[in-house]
Amino acid sequence: MEIKKDDYRVCYDQPTATIYCQGSLRLSGMNEYAPIVELLNNVAEQEPPVITLNLTDLEFLNSSGISLISKFVIQVRQKQTINMIVKGSNNIPWQKKSLKNLQRLMPSLILEWE
């Protein structure tokens, strides 16, 4: 599963159950985010024991984007069978600020920084 555009790429690596978000996600509103939502839903439906969300190469994310990720975390939490790891980068300023809130949505979520 992969969505690739000029300035961003979202893909799912099944063997490692890792979702990669890369580049700059600045789509306008939930309508434009729909294909990404679908990809995330698919992953959640498969219910792997651990999902890793790798954001280390995601330079920019707008507000609709952070809402989308938040909703995905809730969806995973509600499954109750999936553990979740989010990987962020120390070099991307917004990540330090925004990703820690994901743990409030899912206290068992593990945040890893590199």
Site of interaction with other proteins (CB under 8 A): 60-64, 66-67, 70-71, 74, 93-94, 97-98, 101-102, 104-105
Q: Which is nearer to other proteins, 17 or 92 (CB)?
A: 92
- Nearest approach, Cβ of residue 61 and other proteins (Å): 7
Q: How far apart are CA 77 and CA 51, in angstroms?
A: 11
Rounded Cα distance, 80 and 74, in Å: 10
* Nearer to other proteins (CB atom), residue 21 or residue 102: 102
Question: How many C-beta atoms surround the C-beta of residue 107 within 10 A?
Answer: 7
CB of 79 to other proteins, least distance (A): 14
CA atoms within 13 A on the CB side of 47: 6
